[in-house]
Homo-oligomer: A and B are copies of this chain.
């Protein structure tokens, strides 16, 4: 710390300065900038000239207060530090930019109370609309949103199939092809590795789908472990499941990240994948195809989800209509991490 940063801070030009410079009234200047077609070309030109001469940049704060619109959309995600959410944010932001709105994204780190607090912050910021991940939230969250009548969308999961305001996949249904695939390869005893079912609805629904399908295909779920949804969580999961010792020939993971960690630990332990152990993931992040062997996983339409979320938001904001829910599809991507179990020991 050494140099002084601001001295007297020459005040930034405001709209009234522009108006004065252009020789028009405040109102005319305002209209010239926000509704250029409703003023005379003369006026418009004069205002524009004054703007560039003064280097005027309109204050969104003032504008927000007067117009009751911040042009900000709030988003609360579990974490930004996860490729699925990062790319969702990235894509959504791109759509919103087209409508000259910006995305204010906050991370709750898988904590319900934090999520509720962040939503309140965003309400305080007077965002024009809000996007939440999933449909399972602290009751206070939805209460608040309804009370202040803030348009909101829930995305990612559509398992409980609400009629409107949700855009997402069926986590439950998404697991069926996975289990079918694993069963078809001849596996009979599997393990499952996911997040915390209590706090994570995606884990919960995927688990539900697995159980249904396992029953249908006469697969035995030897163990279900919950770990942090990180690489290290996956490694930890390998230790906890100890697949070989417990007779599993396949582990179904509820995210690619966790699968990557599990795969790493399995190979460190000298297992052959898929010879000794088959592994599946969920999300189909870029990493999945780069692993050795590349990961069999479920592809989720994140970009499309982002695009449709953006479109819906724009619609909601202009029409004040609540959009009908949208169910997006998923698909099984079979790669090298799954195969038939060895019938004989090596």
Contacts and interface: CB of A to CB of B under 8 A. Distances in A.
Contacts of A266: none
Contact of A321 (B2, B94, B320): B2
Interface in A274-331: 286-287, 289-292, 315-316, 319-324
A286 to B, nearest CB: 5
How many protomers of this protein does the assembly include? 2
Interface string A49-93: 000000101111110110000100000000111110011011101
Interface in A1-29: 1-6, 9-10, 12
A148 interface: yes
Contact of A86 (B80, B319, B322): B80
Interface string A243-286: 00000000000000000100110000000000000000000001
Nearest to A83: B83
A6 B319 CA distance: 10
Contacts of A65: 59, 61-62, 65
Binding site secondary structure of chain A: mixed
B148 A1 contact: no
Q: In this complex, which of A4, A90, A231, A263 has the most chain B Cβ atoms within 10 angstroms of its Cβ?
A: A90
A210 B2 CA distance: 34
A40 to B, nearest CB: 26
Contacts of A12: 148
A2 B322 contact: yes
A35 interface: no
A3 B106 CA distance: 28
Contacts of A93: 80, 106-107
Interface stretch (A123-131, A183-191, A194-202): A123-131
Contacts of A292: 291-292
Contacts of A209: none
A126 B231 contact: no
Contact of A90 (B107, B289, B290): B107
Given A83-B83, A292-B292, A59 B2 contact: no
